[in-house]
Structure 1
Amino acid sequence: MGAAAEAGRLLVINAGSSSLKFKLFAAAPLVAGLGGLIERIGDAANSTLSAKLRLPDGSTQKWEDKTPITNHTTALEKLMRFLGDNVSSSIEQEVAAVGHRIVHGLDIAKAVLLDDAVIKKIEKAAALAPLHNPPGLAGIAAAQKVFGPAVPHVAVFDTAFHQTLPPHAYMYALPMEYYKQHSIRRYGFHGTSHKYLAETAAAMMGRPLGQLNAITCHLGAGSSVTAVERGRSVDTSMGLTPLEGLVMGTRCGDLDPAVPLHIMRTTGVGAAEMDAILNKRSGLLGLCGNNDLRNVIERRAKGDPEAALAMDVFIYRVRKYVGAYTTALNGHVDAIVFSAGIGENSPLVRALVCGELQRLGVIIDAEANAEMVGGRQGFISKPESRVKVLVVPTDEELSIAQQTVGVVFGDMGEQM
């Protein structure tokens, strides 16, 4: 298997209900290559494969191909033909392993080799992630059909990093039967990103991961915050589903559970519509009619009161979690890490979140903060800041690739 890694490639795929995101890596050393997205699977008239590759001179080569794609298997077959034409004519023989991003793995605590037992657990978890696990299973089935039994497949779970939460953090104060019989508890999500952020922050600070206490902020259309104690997740803002926690693009985040019950009783809204209201029509969209924070910021700058309110609610919720997780870490915070679309690219959001945290030991360098956009990585706190503040562009595909190599190739993968 070591020789296969040295000569082979690694394919990472993330299957959505009508999409297939992909990235190809050289397996050893682990280097990212061409990546892209197949969209509108099942809509034969509009399905599209788009891809890009960053060249050594810093420029980017791009492709776009409109082609009928009826299901995930035909999508993957189309992808392999595309890679054969543009990367290597023997690409199917070169792929040494496939890494799959799966949202929910119940109690699975690490990346694992896919077998029938793991697939059954993913199927069971689909009740808790109905929008995500079934497409993930479709991607697994397609990849296993295309590559056959000789190529190993690894599942990397969004929930795995958070399996280190202690019971007092993951239990809800509900009758115990709901936990024992229906697995109702906090699971947390974005775990692959939070794991990558903690590991990268530790490396940037020159300390072992096991000696790092950090608050990692994955802020995008979907947002979450995690408390990392000595390299392990000990609390996280998302819960049984990704709905809990921060205000997001279209998700409400934390909410009195009586609110949806009251709305259902007084308006006649059914369970399915209530679910859509909470997940797809709330958050920034619900507060000001726009789910893109960039547009909210523009409107706020022009004096729009609803946009200003939406921004205030968003910032307050993030800041509140940072404060709560400072307590969860017993006041010992080495770093606050910002990432994802908003966290990586909005100096304003970072400044507003950190602006009132001086008493916690946070001192922001305004100039460094303003410059840290567009995929840049670095520190935005002043040298005298007790808590270091970092911007780290998340790379979930790289993390999936690293974990896949570790599972399939053992110690060699860990050394990468």
Structure 2
Amino acid sequence: MKEVILVLNCGSSSVKFSIINPIKKISLIQGIVETIQGVVVLSIQDFVLHKKTIQRFGKIEVYEQLIVLIFDLLSKRYKSYLDSLIGIGHRVVHGGQNIKTSMIINDQVLLSIQKASIFAPLHNPYHLLCIKVSLQKILKLKNCNVAVFDTSFHQTMPKISFLYAIPYYFYSNHAIRRYGAHGINHLYITHQCALMLKKSIDRLNIISCHLGGGSSITAIVEGKSIDTSMGLTPLEGLAMGTRCGDIDPYIIFYMVTELSIPLEEVKKILTEKSGVLGISALTSDFRELERNYFTNKRAKLSIDIFCNRVSKYIGGYFTSMPKKLDAVVFTGGIGENSSFVRQKVVEKLSLLGCFIDNEKNSIHGLKNRRIHSSKSIPILVIPANENQMIAQETYALLKNL
């Protein structure tokens, strides 16, 4: 391979990585390093050799070592790919107010990522560490690291969508506004949906439902984001795995002043102990909740609340469509894999012309598929592929350097 892109996607306890041929748009290898019950596990899928390997390592105390582990693996097993690297694409959750597109990383971009960490404290600091290690490990690519931002796709939202109804100076002076998230995948879904429906992107009107541990829904008109459920941070919007989503802000005041819960603990409750985990008191894993749906009242309640919130957002975004809605799209770990959740969401949308085909909905394993009945607005399932989009954005910036 003459030209390949390394994609790094850092979370708080894991690092996903891929090596992608950006011209042919194919993944050559894909893997993840994560900490499972105190043990570091490296899983890698080699699509060229059709081989999957898993390695376990001792406990790692410092996060940077997870990233170093990836570079060590690549230098030992995949040196030919490293020699062919033309760039490294980094997924970054939050770019703040001023970054509106993917950027070649320099000191100013790093500063913007750092400043935006206050809005994405569980993500941006790890992105910065990943970029730091990458710059140290492959010096020849010092000016070929690219940051691709989840917030960029949502920079097309109008003020009526992104402003909060609080004094305007909080926006003008402090950049408090709705930024959204999952923009990289919502952009990928837009491209894939246009191909499926054989429409040009600038004529495409869809509602994209990214449902996973973190979930968001985006209204996309003429190929551009015009509204999205996540806000200043990824805490707003849908009920999620452990995040509360939309709540009355006065709940926070009540917890602090009346229940005497420290503010830091309130933050932890709303981000790490709420959502379906908080309702069920069982788990944030939707697979486990589905298995207990008919036997555990709280498991049932948590899924019903989640699905109800998704249906409400989809219904609300119908009002954003200028003429007609081309499709409702499900993506993300839950959106792609849970036929049960999709059915419960869509059954609330019959008044809006959405009807599911149960047989099509129950089929698993197909890449991009239609699950609607003949009388319905198109309802599609498209697997998330942030890494492919990051590779394309990185290549587009670097190919003419």
Instruction: Give yes or no for TM over 0.5.
Output: yes
Q: Deviations over 1:9-45 (max 9, x none)?
A: 210001234432211113433320112122349x9x8
What residue is the counterpart of 1:104 in the other structure? 94
Are residues 1:297 and 2:287 paired?
no
Are residues 1:389 and 2:374 paired?
no
Are residues 1:182 and 2:163 paired?
no
SS at match of 1:244: coil
Runs of 5+ unmatched residues, structure 2 = none
Alpha-carbon distance, 1:329 to partner: 1.6
User: C-alpha distance in 2, partners of 1:243/1:305?
Assistant: 26
Are residues 1:119 and 2:114 paired?
no
Change (3 A) 1:80 1:230: same
What residue is the counterpart of 1:32 in the other structure? 27
User: C-alpha distance in 2, partners of 1:349/1:410?
Assistant: 44
What residue is the counterpart of 2:231 in the other structure? 239
What residue is the counterpart of 2:264 in the other structure? 272
Alpha-carbon distance, 1:266 to partner: 1.4
| Pairing partner for 2:321 from 323, 329, 340 | 329
What residue is the counterpart of 1:47 in the other structure? 40
User: C-alpha distance in 2, partners of 1:252/1:260?
Assistant: 12
Q: Identity, % of aligned pairs?
A: 38
What residue is the counterpart of 1:14 in the other structure? 9
Give yes or no for contact 1:101–1:157 (8 Å, CA) kept in 2: yes
| Pairing partner for 2:135 from 137, 144, 147 | 144
Amino acid at match of 2:294: A
User: C-alpha distance in 2, partners of 1:249/1:285?
Assistant: 6
Are residues 1:66 and 2:61 paired?
no
SS at match of 2:367: coil
Q: Deviations over 1:81-133 (max 9, x none)?
A: 32233233x44332110000011001322111111111111111112112211
User: C-alpha distance in 2, partners of 1:282/1:331?
Assistant: 37
Change (3 A) 1:68 1:253: closer
Amino acid at match of 1:182: H
Change (3 A) 1:29 1:175: same
Q: How many residues in Structure 1 have an aligned counterpart in Structure 2?
A: 398
User: C-alpha distance in 2, partners of 1:235/1:301?
Assistant: 35
Alpha-carbon distance, 1:186 to partner: 0.2
Are residues 1:202 and 2:194 paired?
yes
Amino acid at match of 2:357: D
Alpha-carbon distance, 1:214 to partner: 0.3
What residue is the counterpart of 1:129 in the other structure? 120
SS at match of 1:272: helix
Q: Give every structure 1 segment of 4 or more consecutive aligned residues whose post-TM-superposition deviation is greater than 6 Å.
A: none
Give yes or no for contact 1:364–1:382 (8 Å, CA) kept in 2: yes
What residue is the counterpart of 1:414 in the other structure? none
User: C-alpha distance in 2, partners of 1:93/1:110?
Assistant: 28
Alpha-carbon distance, 1:232 to partner: 0.2
SS at match of 2:122: coil
User: C-alpha distance in 2, partners of 1:114/1:306?
Assistant: 46
Change (3 A) 1:242 1:77: closer
User: C-alpha distance in 2, partners of 1:225/1:170?
Assistant: 14
User: C-alpha distance in 2, partners of 1:407/1:238?
Assistant: 28
User: C-alpha distance in 2, partners of 1:209/1:17?
Assistant: 34
Give yes or no for contact 2:27–2:47 (8 Å, CA) kept in 1: no
Change (3 A) 1:383 1:410: farther
Give yes or no for contact 1:20–1:72 (8 Å, CA) kept in 2: no
Alpha-carbon distance, 1:69 to partner: 5.0
For normalisation by structure 1, the TM-score amounts to 0.90
What residue is the counterpart of 1:398 in the other structure? 388
Runs of 5+ unmatched residues, structure 1 = 1-5, 412-416
User: C-alpha distance in 1, partners of 2:222/2:12?
Assistant: 36
Q: Deviations over 1:227-255 (max 9, x none)?
A: 00010000000001111110111111110
Q: Deviations over 1:130-180 (max 9, x none)?
A: 221111011111101111154501000011100000001000011122112
Give yes or no for contact 2:135–2:141 (8 Å, CA) kept in 1: no
Amino acid at match of 2:238: L
What residue is the counterpart of 1:94 in the other structure? 84
User: C-alpha distance in 2, partners of 1:82/1:67?
Assistant: 16
User: C-alpha distance in 2, partners of 1:317/1:330?
Assistant: 23
RMSD between superposed Cα atoms in Å: 2.1
Alpha-carbon distance, 1:263 to partner: 1.5
For normalisation by structure 2, the TM-score amounts to 0.93
User: C-alpha distance in 2, partners of 1:294/1:33?
Assistant: 29
